[in-house]
Amino acid sequence: MEWLLAIRFDFDTVGDFLFDPIILRAMRQTLYIALLAMVLGVGLGVVLAVMRDSRNPIVSAPAGVYVWFWRATPVILQLLMVYFGLRQLIDEDIFRDNWTRFRAAVVTFGLNEAAYMAEIVRGGIQSVEAGQMDAAKSLGMTNMQALRRIILPQAFRVMIPPTGNEFIAMLKNTSVAFAIGVVELLNAARIQAAANFRPMELYTVAAFWYLVLVSIFSLGQAELERVMAVSERERPETLLSRAMAIVGTRRGV
């Protein structure tokens, strides 16, 4: 057991770098890439899901091919193609100046996420009873009106848990963006680790921030599920709602 004494984990280094401006900036990069990509992914995912369920093959086939391509190739390859590949193909200064690593990462993760979201949205739409569409149509709504006002609001509730999973997975996957030189959380930690010869401490810092980010979003997801519940009766309790209730009773509300 003597080897245990040889372990030198420097807690001071962890403390020094936990709120280091470079690390915090990288953490924000990670967060921004994930959030923007998710917005793009959900938006495009809804469009793709609706396209795929179209009876017209000219509409549904491209959506099928899209999902197939983005799901069947590694995200690291997609990053390389979207950043380096496009810079090679589009040899214009105005494009090269604007096509930053950060933007390429947002677009790649967004397009990639859309392929997975398309399947989740499709599952959500299919989970809504057929009678809902009948009722909407019998009232004179077009397919689009029925989809937007009746079907999707109900589908979203079913979509929240798998979408939350997707978001958490993607948040962590943004670390792959180091392949095109984005200084996101893990990459920043790696660079600092090399410069300071303190890999374990710096990886711990990175792990800490990933844990914090994912925990915040897990709480947010539970809260969203609560708000989207159909009625009070089905409304689940969440950590936050319980905490609020306790605070409320203490205040005598």
Closest of 206, 235, 204, 242 to residue 10, by C-alpha: 204
Is 56 one of the binding residues for another protein (CB under 8 A)? no
| Residue 37 and residue 170 in contact, taking contact as beta carbons nearer than 8 Å | yes
- The residues in 177-236 that bind another protein, with binding defined as CB under 8 A, are 230-234
* 3-state DSSP of 187-220: HHHHHHHHHHCCHHHHHHHHHHHHHHHHHHHHHH
In the bound state with another protein, the residue whose beta carbon lies nearer, of 75 and 152, is 152
Question: Which member of 15, 62, 74, 153 binds another protein (CB under 8 A)?
Answer: 153
Question: Which member of 33, 111, 150, 185 binds another protein (CB under 8 A)?
Answer: 150
In the bound state with another protein, the residue whose beta carbon lies nearer, of 28 and 149, is 149
Tell me the closest approach of the beta carbon of residue 129 to another protein, in angstroms: 7
In the bound state with another protein, the residue whose beta carbon lies nearer, of 92 and 129, is 129
Alpha-carbon distances of 50 from 102, 103, 154, 156, 180, rounded to whole Å: 29, 27, 15, 14, 33
In the bound state with another protein, the residue whose beta carbon lies nearer, of 67 and 155, is 155
Q: Which residues, in sequence order, are CB contacts of 40 under 8 Å at separation 6+?
A: 106, 107, 110, 111, 113, 114
Tell me the closest approach of the beta carbon of residue 134 to another protein, in angstroms: 6
Q: Which helix (H) or strand (E) is 87 found in, with range? A: helix 86-89
In the bound state with another protein, the residue whose beta carbon lies nearer, of 26 and 51, is 51
> Looking at 23-31, 55-63, 83-91, 126-134, which segment touches another protein (CB under 8 A)?
126-134
- Residue linked to tokens 């689940």: 236
Ramachandran category for residue 73: left, alpha or beta (phi over 0 → left; psi -120 to 50 → alpha):
beta
> Looking at 67-75, 108-116, 118-126, 147-155, which segment touches another protein (CB under 8 A)?
147-155
> Looking at 51-59, 100-108, 148-156, 238-246, which segment touches another protein (CB under 8 A)?
148-156
Question: Which member of 14, 86, 123, 132 binds another protein (CB under 8 A)?
Answer: 132
Ramachandran category for residue 140: left, alpha or beta (phi over 0 → left; psi -120 to 50 → alpha):
left
Q: Is 126 helix (H, G, I), strand (E, B) or coil?
A: helix
Closest of 160, 166, 153, 151 to residue 114, by C-alpha: 166
Tell me the closest approach of the beta carbon of residue 165 to another protein, in angstroms: 23
- Residues of this chain that bind another protein (CB under 8 A): 129, 131-132, 134-143, 145, 149-150, 153-154, 230-234
